[in-house]
Amino acid sequence: MGFILFLALFADLLSPFAYDRVYFDRVLLMPFEHPEHPLGTDEVGRDYLSRLIYGARTSMMVSLSVQMIALMIGLPIGALAGYFGGAFDFVISRIIDIMTAFPALLFTILIISVLGGGMPTIIVALSITSWIVIARITRAQILTLREQEYCTAARGLGASEWRILFRHLLPNAMSPILIAVSFGIPTAIFAEAGLSFLGLGVNDPIASWGKMVGASNAYVRVYWHLALLPTLAIALTMLGFSFLGDGLRDALDPKQKIRV
């Protein structure tokens, strides 16, 4: 997993070729067929190794920024709704109800169909659906913590509402939220790969594992490497990040079981 992040960060230095460099005379090479392309080339003659490395960058960029945005929106909204309750909480809860009334994937596809494809749109669309998860968990956490004795004690000592919320409640609510974020990363990786796979994701010529799998569908009978390599990349990355989530859960919160 660290390896994937490393690939994503240093994609420019590591790749033997640019991800969009096309060799018209080297189309659909098998791995090791040409000394300069250890993993072969794709259907328009781009080096497959380079595209896999740049695919890591796309995947990481989308998933990490989606989770960051989700955290930045979901955390304050969930905290305020949980702590102050009232009309704001009512509105937020109804929004959450509506958004969970149908599959998040369909909603993401709808937003993309409205805004058009491309990397920024995907990040926006996925953030719109994933802040809900963070907001829901934050709200539930704050709701239970609000009634604890130390909160009453702090109030008795004359702490302001904001101080209680930020100094006492949020730090205690943090670990389930962090776990939710870490499980949200593989979800976002899956969503990006899946959307690109359907042809609704990032635009050409940006490399994306999902898009590579989708494109390979037509060539899979002969050029098996086109399908195998990106699917392996997706599977390994997602396994890595969910192990990270499991580890984080065991470390931070042995009793809690969060299902995202």
Partner 1 sequence: MLGYICGRIFALMLILLAVSIIVFSLMHSVPGGPFDERKGRLPPAAKANILKKYGLDQPVWKQYINYMSHAVRFDFGIPYQRPHTTVAKLISKSWAITVQVGLTTIVVAFGFGILAGIYAAYHQNSWVDTLVTFVSSLGVTVPNFVVAMWLILIFAVSLNWLPMGGWGSSGQCLVDKYFCTDWILPVIAYAIAPMAIVARYTRASIVEVMGEDYVRTARAKGLSEIKVMRKHVLRNAQIPMVTALGTEIPNLITGSIFIESTFRINGLGKYFVTSTLNRDYPMIMATFLLVAFLWGILYLLTDIAYTMIDPRVRLGAKSLS
User: CA-based angle 215:190:170, to the nearest 5?
Assistant: 155
Q: Taking CB under 8 A as the rule, which mask of x and - marks residues 131-170 in contact with partner 1?
A: ---------x--xx--------------------------
Q: Which is nearer to partner 1, 50 or 121 (CB)?
A: 121
- Kindly state the smallest distance separating residue 109's Cβ from partner 1, in Å: 6
Q: Any contact of residue 72 with partner 1 (CB under 8 A)?
A: no
- DSSP string of 159-203? --HHHIIIIIIHHHHHHHHHHHHHHHHHHHHHHHHHHHHHT-SSP
Find the binder of partner 1 among 153, 235, 247, 251 (CB under 8 A): 235
Q: How many alpha carbons fall within 13 Å on the CB side of residue 190?
A: 14
**CA-CA distance, 37 to 32, in Å (whole number)?**
7
Chosen residue from 12, 97, 161, 204 binding partner 1 by CB under 8 A: 97
178 binds partner 1 (CB under 8 A): no
Q: Which of 227, 244, 248, 252 binds partner 1 (CB under 8 A)?
A: 227
Tokens 């109800």 sit on residue:
97
154 Cα distance to chain centroid: 37
Q: Is 256 in the site for partner 1 (CB under 8 A)?
A: no
Does position 101 interact with partner 1 (CB under 8 A)? The reply is yes
**Contacting residue, 9, 27, 110, 153, with partner 1 by CB under 8 A:** 110
Q: Quick one: 74 or 186, whose CB is closer to partner 1?
A: 186
Q: How many of the chain's residues bind partner 1 (CB under 8 A)? A: 41
State yes or no: residue 198 binds partner 1 (CB under 8 A).
Answer: yes
The answer to whether 199 contacts partner 1 (rule: CB under 8 A) is yes
Tokens of 93: 């809860």
Interaction between residue 251 and partner 1 (CB under 8 A): no
- Asked if 109 is part of the footprint of partner 1 (rule: CB under 8 A), the reply reads yes
With respect to partner 1, which residue has the nearer C-beta, 15 or 135? Answer: 135
Contact at 8 Å (CB) between 230 and 192?
A: no
54, 40 contact by CB (below 8 A):
no
Give the integer Cα–Cα distance in Å for 209 and 56: 8
Verify binding: residue 113, partner 1, rule CB under 8 A. yes
User: How far apart (Å, rounded) are the C-alpha atoms in residues 170 and 178?
Assistant: 12
258 binds partner 1 (CB under 8 A): no
37 DSSP β-pair partners: 34
